[in-house]
Structure 1
């Protein structure tokens, strides 16, 4: 075994030089009557779509896009909660040769999305106004409210709306307007396929670009334990890379999902468990806070003998507490590690009843991935020595869209380059990766990365605020929570909280949480370091103490 912190797991087989479009069409031909997706809404009947029907409807959408002037590699926006209509729209965009611009809007005035759409020169957008038009005001905010100002982009809404302001079509309408003789463009594996948004250091989202090839070769990187699964559960927002609808469909699996917000509500995990049991789900992708809830509700959820074969989890540091779910709710768990930029990096071996999870321990690299640990000067360190985690593989993002400087900063100057994950960890002498935290101030809440600076920038606009620093405080369920620490002679915590609630999308966000902070603390002064700057470490400690979280 090497004494330096470097690991490489060779690919498990040859890569296939194919596109997502090839796989979608093939599955529609081979398993046309198999359910591709099953939607179990919080309120309403079961809904599903087969592989044959999905392909047929997606082709119609693709032809409409092409006949409407959408060119190959144009970006088409997509926003809204998890629904079957959203899946049809996404596959239609892919089949048209365009790029899916996944939008995860955080602010009620949609200022974060407006910047993305303008930067991407996006002229066509699919959007879902939601039940009772709950997202309509956000969508309308994407356009100017000034009269006599032309609408900047064309909107295809994924359900009916009462809006009279927005010029739009509804997705069901375009099925009668698409021309059957429209020829869809030939797509290449290296073509851009997706843009995922993720937290940026300036407070503006970064646009992570992945290719068609990225998704097709990902099939070689998934754990063997999951490839034979026929029915799986994953309710992560479709706009997240971990919630992408493409992977399960390329494997020919049936993916069951519900509203991501259900897991954040009271008794939500009980409803999710009932859905999985009723659908005979074999494996489930659950966030650590879902597993936490299952463990806490173990005595109140009836035990009828149903067990998941496996639970896959990740998104935050996991410890041995979570093994309590094994035996009662599942036969094994697997812990994964990755990011929007790196995609999959590492996953654990199957963890079974009686096994122990060392805090932060993941496992070896997934097939085709290299991992190394370096110090702050970029020099590789010895095994069992913590440092900065860097990865290299064919799964890495292509670039940050329209930001060459940020892209260059994310990669090393090596050839081929390494991607800097921004995480701290170590490689053990036995060949496992242990993740220990972040190099930045990013707050990890339930798998979502929250940028404190973005919250600070918003709160600073509030009249009466002298200074503000948002910090992470510990949380037994979500791992970390956001706490706004501020200095003001007049504003109460309740007033600052109300201001944030009026600006951040909270309970109606795509994951039911958004970036809304949980705690608000008023200070007379902040602790300072010898440089005179705020000592964030001491501030975090004091915030946790005042909240009785230390």
Structure 2
């Protein structure tokens, strides 16, 4: 208009940086990762329609950039409300009143919904719920047919955004623990051993990722970037996985979460997925605690459903029936040594279980600080 100052907009290119995201900090101090216009807008993997998504704006899963360029209405509450656990049905009421078609809900929230299953009589269901960020199993899949028509799993990272998607399932029986589906178009994956050799199906090793949307660097940290990237721009994910015969990525856990009991390397999820099947166990996390003789021992941290009173002795007896200890061929086995009941498991701001804090809490309760190195 006349009299107004003219504004000169800058010339922009697809390779120009548009935003800097932070990682969740689940493996340590949060890292900063810059993304270009091209990297943040070349994704069209999720359904249309009004969605509920309470992930923080600073994280890739909650970025308003996706909402704006896709033009999809978004409903959300503060992330901390869902973390409190007792607001589950209040949030569900918001989802219903806003008539959302689908939602991104983390596994801990799905567990909270499942706990309300018997009391839920409403006919309202979402078309699909997408989840991820933590291991997903048949317990979480119980939301299907009650709160949602289908359940899909997204595997991604701030470095690579979307990596794979497990197509929505419509029955509980279809869910296989650790299955995060096939890589999306534009993503390459390979599994390597400790020497960098590519492994065959279905051997477990570290998952490496290469993308046309390409992770390039950690902002202001060239040293960390160099350690994360292999030749050919392959990114070390830090996840242990294998590729099954259907070309699905099957996650087994984090490299940093491995427990070194003597000469045996133990993945916590191999124990967690057994203990969670005990009736009355709401959540379980297995951590390694220091041991002067074996380097680490196995500690089970668990939370029960409110109506169940399950003692550490009860869980130990359950494990004695499921795991080998001294009777294992190497005399070590996977039988846990310690069992601790918690009222609530420590979480990060994004809702993921804070394994590092939980390990420290366990060490403190077990009075094992004197056995820590250093």
Deviations 1:73-125 (A, max 9, x none): xxxxxxxxxxxxxxxxxxxxxxxxxxxxxxxxxxxxxxxxxxxxxxxxxxxxx
**Could you say what the CA RMSD is over the residues aligned between the two structures, in angstroms?**
3.1
1:435 equivalent in structure 2? 251
1:379 Cα deviation from its structure 2 partner: 0.8
Q: Does the alignment pair 1:366 with 2:210?
A: no
Q: Cα distance, 1:398 vs. partner?
A: 2.3
Taking the aligned partners of 1:432 and 1:325, their CA distance within structure 2 comes to 23
1:398 equivalent in alignment to 2:216: yes
1:287 aligned partner: 106
- The offset of 1:353, in angstroms, is 2.1
Distance 2:368 2:150 in 1: 50
Deviation (angstroms), 1:181: 2.3
Instruction: Output the TM-score relative to the length of structure 2.
Output: 0.70
Name stretches of at least 5 consecutive residues in structure 1 with no aligned partner: 1-178, 445-451, 453-468, 478-505, 535-550
Query: Structure 1 residue 425 and structure 2 residue 250: aligned?
Result: no
- Greater Cα radius of gyration, structure 1 or 2: 1
Q: For residues 300 and 410 of structure 1, do their structure 2 counterparts lie closer, same or farther at Cα, with a shift above 3 Å needed?
A: same
| Correspondent of 2:206 among 381, 388, 411 | 388
**Contact 1:218 1:395 (C-alpha < 8 Å) held by counterparts:** no
Deviations 1:312-355 (A, max 9, x none): 00001111111210001000000011111121111101211254
| Larger RCO (CA under 8 A, 6+ residues apart) | 1
User: 1:182 is matched with which residue: 1, 4, 7?
Assistant: 7
Structure 2 CA distance, aligned partners of 1:362 and 1:203? 24
* Deviations, residues 351-374 of structure 1 (Å, cap 9, x unaligned): 112542111011110111111111
Is the CA contact 2:215–2:235 (under 8 Å) kept in the aligned structure 1?
Answer: no
CA distance in 1, matches of 2:206, 2:254: 9
Over 3 Å counting, the alpha-carbon distance change for 1:356 and 1:191 in structure 2 is same
* CA distance 1:202–1:233, change in 2 (3 Å): closer
Task: Return the offset for 1:304.
Answer: 2.5
What's the offset of the Cα at 1:203? 5.3
Moved more, 397-406 or 319-328: 397-406
Please give the alpha-carbon distance, in whole angstroms, between the structure 1 residues aligned to 2:351 and 2:239. Answer: 26
Unmatched runs of 5 consecutive residues or more in structure 2: 259-267, 270-286, 288-295, 305-345
| Cα distance in structure 2, aligned partners of 1:255 and 1:435 | 30
Give the conservation status (yes or no) of the 8 Å contact 1:211–1:398: no
Residue 298 in structure 1 maps to residue 117 in structure 2: yes
1:130-529 matched pairs, under 5 angstroms = 180-198=5-23, 204-219=29-44, 222-223=45-46, 226=47, 229-301=48-120, 303-414=121-232, 417-441=233-257, 474-475=301-302, 511=350, 517=357, 519=361, 520-521=364-365, 523=367, 526-527=370-371
Tell me which residue corresponds to 1:92: none
For the structure 1 residues 288 and 213, does the alpha-carbon distance in structure 2 shift closer, same or farther, using more than 3 Å as the test?
same
Give the alignment's TM-score, normalised by structure 1: 0.49
Q: Is contact 1:344–1:395 with CA below 8 Å preserved after alignment?
A: no
Deviation at 1:252, TM superposition (A): 1.4
Cα distance in 1, alignment partners of residues 51 and 27 from structure 2: 37
In 2: Cα distance, 1:202 partner to 1:514 partner: 11
Aligned equivalents of 1:511, 1:360: Cα separation in 2: 20
* TM-aligned CA distance change 1:315 to 1:525, over 3 Å: closer
Distance 2:126 2:62 in 1: 19
Number of residue pairs the alignment of both structures matches: 290
Q: SS where residue 272 of structure 1 aligns?
A: helix
